[in-house]
A = this chain, B = another copy of it.
Amino acid sequence: MPALADLRASVLLGPEDESALRQAGDVLADQIEDVLDVWYGFVASHPHLVAYFSTPQGKPIDDYLQRVRARFGQWILDTCNRAYDQEWLDYQQEIALRHTPVKKNSTDGVESVPLIPLRYLIAFIYPITATMRPFLAARGHSGDEVDAMFQAWCKSVTLQVALWAQPYAAEQW
């Protein structure tokens, strides 16, 4: 996996970050719903984002939002706890495709808009990282430990969004 090794180096993700992510997994385990409340609150307050979980006519699809929410929660734990190996890379490819016409909607049997534009996947790096620090700090770890968990989280999210960009850019990825 030369692309993964080079990408990991490009976001400075090393073994100490994997340890910090495991610790973050412990810290976040019983806060997942609270994190999702923040993220869903952010999406819900922006009509241009809700639109991607809505019908083409603009009506939010509650069942779709709930099913995605469950996967989003699992994704937090997977980001922290899984080895970033070939199986994980295959899973990243599946996540990537579920943002595009190849697999969006069909996974959940819904009739929503066919694509989440790439620019919003990239833009989401900011809210998905910045909102995480208070949750990482909520279990009394030292400032240095919280910072290590937070930096590892930022590196991993950036890495994953880079991977999810693959179907959008084809040979220019």
Using a CB–CB cutoff of 8 Å, the interface residues on chain A facing chain B are: 3, 6-7, 9-12, 46, 48-49, 100, 115, 117-120, 122-127, 130, 151, 154-155, 158-159, 161-163, 165-166, 168-169, 172-173
Residues of B within 8 A of A125 (CB): 125, 158
Copies of this chain present: 2
Residues of B within 8 A of A158 (CB): 122-123, 125-126
**Contact pick for A130, options B124, B151, B162, B173, CB 8 Å:** B151
Nearest Cβ on chain B to A139's Cβ, whole angstroms: 22
| A100 CA to B172 CA, complexed, in Å | 8
Whether the Cβ atoms of B130 and A9 lie closer than 8 Å is no
| A117 CA to B171 CA, complexed, in Å | 9
Pull 14 A–B residue pairs with CB atoms less than 8 Å apart, ordered by A.
A6-B46, A7-B119, A7-B120, A9-B46, A9-B48, A10-B46, A10-B126, A100-B172, A115-B172, A117-B173, A130-B151, A130-B154, A165-B169, A168-B168
List 16 extra interface pairs beyond A10-B49, A122-B122, CB under 8 A. Answer: A3-B119, A10-B126, A100-B172, A117-B169, A117-B173, A119-B162, A119-B165, A119-B166, A122-B161, A122-B162, A123-B159, A125-B125, A126-B154, A126-B155, A130-B154, A165-B168
| A119 CA to B125 CA, complexed, in Å | 14
Residues of B within 8 A of A48 (CB): 6, 9-10
